[in-house]
Amino acid sequence: EAQVTQNPRYLITVTGKKLTVTCSQNMNHEYMSWYRQDPGLGLRQIYYSMNVEVTDKGDVPEGYKVSRKEKRNFPLILESPSPNQTSLYFCASSPQWGESEQYFGPGTRLTVT
């Protein structure tokens, strides 16, 4: 089944404890992206990747890192999480940039205390 998977789905952590949220797609998509969703703000892009080893900042990149060493994986890293990073995170992929729809993962609900 074609899909985008994220892990973990739920995570409660403490301030400053490094964490990684994994994202994987099995559709051979070139483009991948991370968003955070907060009430009243919609989806805001954190980072995106046009292809392997090509990443760039979105609108809210502060406090996040990403890497794209393989086409299928695009992990999101929070080196030192803070409470303002408590949010719902979505990974998305699309065949290519420009005209393509995005396929979203199921989401990761992160709480930082």
Partner 1 sequence: GQQVMQIPQYQHVQEGEDFTTYCNSSTTLSNIQWYKQRPGGHPVFLIQLVKSGEVKKQKRLTFQFGEAKKNSSLHITATQTTDVGTYFCAGRFSGGYNKLIFGAGTRLAVHP
Q: Indicate whether 102 belongs to the interface with partner 1 (CB under 8 A).
A: yes
Q: Indicate whether 106 belongs to the interface with partner 1 (CB under 8 A).
A: yes
Q: Indicate whether 74 belongs to the interface with partner 1 (CB under 8 A).
A: no
> Binding string, 39-58, against partner 1, x = CB under 8 A?
-xxxxxx--x-x-----x-x
DSSP per-residue letters across 26-94: SS--SEEEEEEEETTTEEEEEEEEEETTEEEE-S--TT-EE--SSSSB--EEESS--GGG-EEEEEEEE
Residue type, 21: V
Q: Indicate whether 77 belongs to the interface with partner 1 (CB under 8 A).
A: no
**Which residue stretch of 11-19, 22-30, 76-84, 98-106 sits at the interface with partner 1 (rule: CB under 8 A)?**
98-106
**Which residue stretch of 21-29, 61-69, 73-81, 91-99 sits at the interface with partner 1 (rule: CB under 8 A)?**
91-99
Beta strands 31-38 and 42-51: pairing type? antiparallel
Asked if residues 107 and 10 have their Cβ atoms less than 8 Å apart, the reply is: no
Separation of alpha carbons 76 and 84, rounded Å: 16
Q: Indicate whether 12 belongs to the interface with partner 1 (CB under 8 A).
A: no
Contact residues toward partner 1 (CB under 8 A) are 33, 35, 40-45, 48, 50, 56, 58-59, 90, 92, 97-99, 101-107
